[in-house]
Amino acid sequence: MPRPTSLSIDLNALSNNAATTRRLVGNSKILASVKANAYGHGLTRCSEALNQKVDGFAVAFCEEAVLLRQQGITLPLLLLEGPFDREDVDAIKEYDLMMVVHSHHQIELLQKSACPLTSPVWIKIDTGMHRLGFSPAEAPSVAQRLHEMGASSTILMTHYGEGEEPASALTQEQQRAWQTSTHSITSATSAANSAAIINTLAPNTDWMRPGIMLYGAAHSDPIGASLEAVMSFRSEVMAMRHILAGDTVGYGGRWRAQRDSTIATIPVGYGDGYPRGAEDGTPVWLQHQCVPLVGRVSMDMITVDVTDFAGCHIGTSVELWGKHLSVNEVAKHSGTIGYELLTRLTGRVPVNYHL
């Protein structure tokens, strides 16, 4: 018999979140971000579920896009990091991919490869994150050069570094830089990731790029979008024991019982992607209530205090995160973010898809 730890992916919730996103973005097109294995949810299955709900897909690099093409996805596909080498350029031509251009090195690569620029070329503008992109001052000459190389059309894009905080200094600075760029070039535009969509930072852009909100794990929901968690990370209680006040639990004896206590062991650990950094008190959902994690996370097991949980037994259902417990809440207790928890799950956890 397999151990009871698994992932459940609710494709109906994914579709519902896409429909909610569609209502929020109005007439803008939706480019769904499915990079990093669809944020840990499964690249192919999620893209197939979204195929009739969105206008295109965004991936990080070429291999992800080629896989989608080979699986029959025909919608526009955007490479967010653009081409790395000549092999990527050849794949862009063969599979009819859109690409982001963020450096002069890439422009030179395209020119040397004589790549026909028949699909829209996305020009990355660095408005303040300082990872990738051209400065707003460079953007007009970059657009001109691409048109001279035969680009049929261009799309200006940027990325907010603090979209969850519309009033922050960084967001305000980026908005000013973005306005400067878009006023100097006649082009389609794209500036909104999930946080920017939810906080209406770029309401009039042509393409919206939702990611984490599609999977129901956005940091906040100030507009009451009521997004649904798509992933549920589940298990069951495998063992129980009673300990005395003063006894410790787990590696290093980090947690010490302040009273006689009942401890339940659950067969999941950092070998599955549950965060080893989870602190004592991290919530774990058991059947109908949250109980606290106690002791260090092991490779294959965690332990929780069920002293105040009436009726807990071997086989009691557990949710590590999902419909009842937000992945962001677990992340907050683990010194990380929900994105990381979703995307670092390991291959030994079985995945079940359902509608």
Active site residue 53: no
Per-residue pLDDT of the chain (355 residues; tens, 9 = 90+): 689 999 999 999 999 999 999 999 999 999 999 999 999 999 999 999 999 999 999 999 999 999 999 999 999 999 999 999 999 999 999 999 999 999 999 999 999 998 899 999 999 999 999 999 999 999 999 999 999 999 989 999 999 999 889 999 999 999 999 999 888 888 999 999 999 999 888 888 999 999 999 999 987 766 656 899 999 999 999 999 999 999 999 999 999 999 999 999 999 999 999 999 999 999 999 999 999 999 999 999 999 999 999 899 999 999 999 999 999 999 999 999 999 999 999 999 999 999 8
The count of C-alpha atoms lying within 13 angstroms of the C-alpha of 4, restricted to the half-sphere facing its C-beta, is 16
- For residue 24, what are the contacts with CB-CB under 8 A and spacing of at least 6? 197, 198, 223, 225
Residue of 29, 35, 124, 323 marked active site: 35
Question: Do 324 and 285 meet the contact criterion of CB atoms below 8 Å apart?
Answer: yes
- Residue 14: exposed, middle, or buried by beta-carbon count in 10 A (0-12, 13-18, 19+)? buried
CATH 3.40.190.10 fits domain 11-215: no
What's the topology of domain 231-354?
Answer: Lyase, Ornithine Decarboxylase; Chain A, domain 1 (2.40.37)
Active site residue 251: yes
How far is 327 from 214, CA to CA, in rounded Å?
Answer: 14
The residues of the chain that CATH labels 2.40.37.10 are 231-354
Phi first, then psi, for residue 332 (nearest 5°) are -60, -35
The residues of the chain that CATH labels 3.20.20.10 are 11-215
Residue of 29, 93, 124, 251 marked active site: 251
Report the predicted TM-score, pTM, of the whole model to 2 decimal places. Answer: 0.95
C-beta pairs of 34-38 under 8 Å, 24+ apart in sequence: 34/58, 34/59, 34/64, 34/68, 35/59, 35/60, 35/64, 35/80, 35/211, 36/60, 36/343, 37/343, 38/215
